[in-house]
Amino acid sequence: MTPDRSQPSPPTVNIIGCGRAAGSLARLWLQASAVQLAAVLNRSRPSADRAVSNIGAGYAVDGIEDMPPADCWLIGSGDDQVLAVAHALAASRADLDDVLVFHLAGRYGLDVLSPLAERGARLATLHPVRSLTHAHLTVAQFSGTACVAEGSAEALARLEPLVAAIGGMWLPVSDIDRGLYHAAVSIVSNVTKGVAWKAQNWLATAGLPATTAAAVTHQLLASTMDDLFRSGARQSITGPVVRGDTRTIEAHLEALRATHPDDLDVYRILARIVLELAQERGDLDADTLARFDSLLKG
């Protein structure tokens, strides 16, 4: 049988800094037959060897000069290392003319890739807005993930098919405030987990077994997400703040003062956020708002 040569080969990808995020994306792209993984470079050879083993493709190298020509270069290094990697890549002998180079650091835009502009590279950023820590994440699980991207039209045209291949939600942006953007997505992801952990501690102190405390927290988070997706934050908030029930909030504060006094400020801050939302929705009159304001000042 004559092989079908009508379909173009998947693009080749080199990775510099193959940690959890870059490794997860590489595995997803390979599941979808969207890329051919070439060289992987980490801070140490053993680290690169482990990354290649975890991905199940590609090969480890000791330096940029050992990396072959590729259609795409993915910089998956930590946020504070992206600029240094860009400088090193720009100073290398790698052929970057008309090649896509992109990073995954949500904290930064295109500015950290500026050293590569004079080398003729097509520059972009890609930030999948989800935790990429699960070693066995599947395309089905990733599907629908918001993927915020920024770059030139040429770069985005090459990057979008990689996102589409694994079911990502393509969300191109331009000239956003990266500090504020990253603060927002970080607080949704990590602070939510921190608040859940804190709530489980409170439930355990209240007398619930640890497994029960976890089950209650997880079920409540799941139903809360359902409400949020269905109705949005403003329409789905409930509880004593929305009802103007200052006595219940006082009881919460008294219980925490007796059992977790160091968490009083945590509760007050979170309750004030709910209060702002209730105020925006118009649930509370001026007198109730004043009582809450006094109660939550600390």
pLDDT tier at 7, thresholds 50, 70, 90: low
pLDDT of residue 132: 83
pLDDT of residue 137: 87
Q: Is the pLDDT of residue 4 over 80?
A: no
User: pLDDT digits over 78-123, tens only?
Assistant: 999 999 999 999 999 999 999 999 999 999 999 999 999 999 999 9
Q: How far apart are CA 203 and CA 217, in angstroms?
A: 9
| Mean pLDDT (the chain, rounded) | 93
Q: Is the pLDDT of residue 291 over 60?
A: yes
pLDDT of residue 241: 92
Q: Could you give the C-alpha distances from 157 to 28, 150, 160, 162, 265, in angstroms and in order?
A: 19, 11, 6, 10, 47
Average pLDDT for residues 188-205, to the nearest whole number? 93
Q: For residue 39, what are the β-bridge partners?
A: 59
Nearest residue to 283 (alpha-carbon basis) of 249, 247, 242: 242
Average pLDDT for residues 23-49, to the nearest whole number? 96
Average pLDDT for residues 152-172, to the nearest whole number? 97
Q: How far apart are CA 154 and CA 156, in angstroms?
A: 6
Question: Quick check: 159 and 13 in contact, CB under 8 A?
Answer: no
Question: Quick check: 70 and 95 in contact, CB under 8 A?
Answer: no
The sheet carrying 146-151 orders its strands as 59-60, 36-41, 12-16, 72-75, 100-103, 122-128, 146-151, 169-172
pLDDT of residue 297: 85
Average pLDDT for residues 279-289, to the nearest whole number? 89
pLDDT of residue 115: 96
Q: Is the pLDDT of residue 5 over 70?
A: no
Q: How far apart are CA 96 and CA 84, in angstroms?
A: 17
User: pLDDT digits over 52-64, tens only?
Assistant: 999 999 999 999 9
Q: Which domains does the chain have, with CATH numbers?
A: 12-176 (3.40.50.720), 180-295 (1.10.1040)
Q: How far apart are CA 181 and CA 92, in angstroms?
A: 32
Q: Is the pLDDT of residue 135 over 80?
A: no
